Every structure is written in C-alpha cells, then in structure tokens.
Amino acid sequence: MQVQSKRFDRQVRFSALGTGGQERLQNSRVLLVGCGALGGILAQSLTRAGVGELLLVDRDIVEESNLPRQVLFEDRHAQEGALKVVAGLETLQRIGGPTRFETHAQHLDADTIDDLAEGCDLILDGTDNLGTRYLVNDWCVQNNVPWIYGGVVGSGGLVMPILPGVGPCLRCLFDSPPPTGTLETCDTAGVILPAVGAIASMQAGLALRLLAQGPAGHADFPTALLELDVWSASLRRLAIGRQEDCACCGARDFKWLDEPQGRRATILCGRNAVQVRGLATAPDLDLLQTRLDPLASSTRRAGPILRCEIETYVFTIFADGRALIEGLDDVERAIALYDRYVGS
C-alpha cells in the first residue's frame, strides 16, 4: 500500500519511523482486545497513525460511568446502551485515513481466539481482566506473536511489551493470578483519564515501533516492565528477565488455552441466573466484602457465602470462587459482571 504522503508527512519525518516504517504500518494487522478506556485511546492512536487493519473485540455495552475516561463514546451512546464496538467504529470512521476495521461484539476466549487473532502482527491489551490477559499471553507465546500488556487503576498503571523468544512473558512476571478479589479495580479504586492516557500512549508508542521495525527490530527491543503514575509524576523502569522455568514460555504449558468459555459459565434453566466459575484461587470473602460494600446496595455474609446486590443483580459468591448471578441469562454479560466486581 502506497504511503499517503501529505497525510503522514510529519510522521514519516520522524527518522526512526520513516517512509519504510510507515509502509509497514499500513500493511499491518492488529487485534485490539477491549474498546473501553485503554482500548479507545489505542484505537484512535493506531487509526491516526495509519495502521492497515484494526480488529476491535469487545463484549460490553456503553454505560454512563464510562464517559469520563472512554474517549470513543458520547452521551447518546450510553443512553442507547450501544455496543462498544459499534459506537467505537462510528467514532473511528470519522477520522478517515487508510485504516480498515473489523468489529466483533463478543468475548475473547479459548474458543474464539484462534479465529480472531489469525494473521495478526500484534495484539494490544485494552481489556480489564486477568483471565483474558493470561489467555492472550499463552496464545501469543504458542504462535510467536508479540503483544503489549497494559493495566491501569487509580492514577497509574503498568505497561510491558511481550516478544516471545526475546524477553519474558506475562507468566515469567506473574506465574498465576493473585487470589480472587485481592486486586483493586477501576470499579473499586476508581481511575482518572490522565492515567488512562499515559498508559495507553506508552502502549501505542511501543506498538508503532514494533510494527514499523518489523521482526528485524525485535532483538533490540526493550522488554522492561514500566510503572507510571500521573498523580505523583513518577516513572519506573524495571528490568525483568525471562524465567527459564516459566510454565508458559519455558515448559510451553498453555493451560489458559484449555479454558473455553462454555466450561466457565452455565445458565441455570428456569431461574434467570448464571453460575460463573473464577479462574484464580479462592477469594478472601472478608476482603471482598470490604471492597464491595461501597458499590452494593447491600452485602450479607453467611458463613462461606457472600451475598450482595449490585446494579439490578444479586450475587451469591462461594468460598471456592464460584458465583451465582441472578437477574440475567446472558453468559457473556455474567462473565463481564463477575470479572468487574469479583475478579478474574
């Protein structure tokens, strides 16, 4: 594909990218998992940079509480309860340029990732749950495809580019997720747009470099873990080495690819409820109750069971991490609610 010289004039003048890099950008195919806070800024950055194909995957709808930090959406999208991929595509298409879009309003899981990621040069993490990140990590290591991890909460977050065979993978850093309910999320600790912007912009910059340089540039690519905070104006670069005994990139045990969505959630016939199984270790119910108290209209503890009412749903959370979510019969929505309020 020929470079649109006038449109990208200032970009190709950046010598590290140049015309050759721009051509590689315009011939690249990128999968973006999640179109919310991080995903919205990533999608705009890559579209304006002229990435060839951008695949958008998100299972969720736009809500009013998204609007302060999710830049692809407007008030009317929240009022309509529009699908995020549909509303996002509408916004991105107004930018113009050479980028071609493909949208998928579905959950990325072990049943769908092969089809969605096929032929992609890079996967970008705009998601909000650990289970999906471990799935992406396993698939990318297995298929030798780079991806860029990003997470944000409060006023800061983490970024790490993962290049299979070159540097550490996510499981070198965190072999398994922490116990369910122990990590703060945007729903429990809040988040501000400048933090989202800083993390997503760092991800986008690394993505442009990866795509513009191509595989020839992987050997010299920095694979450190970056920690940013916009409130304290701090940045730390932590050198992380590849772990030879890593279960994923060392032993090549891809357990997260063996976790189809159908095995994780079950519709309970006649009850308007879905049972969801967690992917991490058993939760600390006392800590989880403390975190959910400000969000729920009520929380009640009965021995090894925690019950709470959030939005229009009733959660019954068991000591082994299972949860019964009453008030719906949509598996994808139930998993999204579980990941949001209980944790992956």
pLDDT digits (tens, 9 = 90+) for 279-334: 666 788 999 999 999 999 889 887 888 999 998 999 989 888 889 899 998 888 89
Tell whether 175 and 45 lie within a shared domain: yes
Q: N- to C-terminal Cα distance for the chain?
A: 41
Q: Is the pLDDT of residue 180 over 70?
A: no
Domain stop point among 232, 256, 280: 256
Predicted local confidence at residue 269, as pLDDT: 63
Q: Which CATH number do you get for residue 71? A: 3.40.50.720
**Helix residue ranges per DSSP H, 98-192:** 113-117, 130-143, 170-173, 186-189
Domain stop point among 230, 256, 282: 256
Tell whether 126 and 243 lie within a shared domain: yes
CB 86 within 8 A of CB 60: no
Residue type at 16 in one-letter notation? A
Answer whether residue 177 is part of any domain: yes
Predicted local confidence at residue 243, as pLDDT: 92
Predicted local confidence at residue 2, as pLDDT: 63
**Segment 15-40, tens digit of pLDDT:** 999 999 999 999 999 999 999 999 99
Backbone φ, ψ for residue 181 (5° rounding)? 90, -5
Tell whether 301 and 228 lie within a shared domain: no
Give residue 120's pLDDT band: very low, low, confident or very high (50, 70, 90): very high
Tell whether 45 and 186 lie within a shared domain: yes
| R_g over Cα of the chain | 20
Tell whether 252 and 265 lie within a shared domain: no
Tell whether 217 and 283 lie within a shared domain: no
Tell whether 277 and 301 lie within a shared domain: yes
Distance CA 90, CA 40 (A): 12
Q: Which residue has the higher pLDDT, 89 or 330?
A: 89
Give residue 261's pLDDT band: very low, low, confident or very high (50, 70, 90): low
Give residue 222's pLDDT band: very low, low, confident or very high (50, 70, 90): confident
Q: What is the mean pLDDT of residues 329-340?
A: 87
CB 85 within 8 A of CB 61: no
Answer whether residue 4 is part of any domain: no
Tally the domains of the chain.
2
Q: Is the pLDDT of residue 202 over 60?
A: yes
CB 201 within 8 A of CB 41: yes
Domain stop point among 208, 239, 256: 256
Residue 115 has, within 13 A of its CA and on its CB side, a CA count of 11
Distance CA 163, CA 249 (A): 11
Answer whether residue 3 is part of any domain: no
DSSP conformation letters of 235-275:
EEEE--PPPTT-TTTTT---GGGG--HHHHEEEETTTTEEE
The pairs formed by 294-302 with CB atoms below 8 angstroms and a separation of 24 or more are 294/188, 295/187, 295/188, 295/341
What is the percent of the chain where pLDDT is above 90?
65
The residue whose two tokens read 């159908």 is 262
Distance CA 227, CA 199 (A): 9
Predicted local confidence at residue 132, as pLDDT: 87
Domain residue limits at 303? 261-341
Q: Is the pLDDT of residue 184 over 90?
A: no
Tell whether 191 and 234 lie within a shared domain: yes
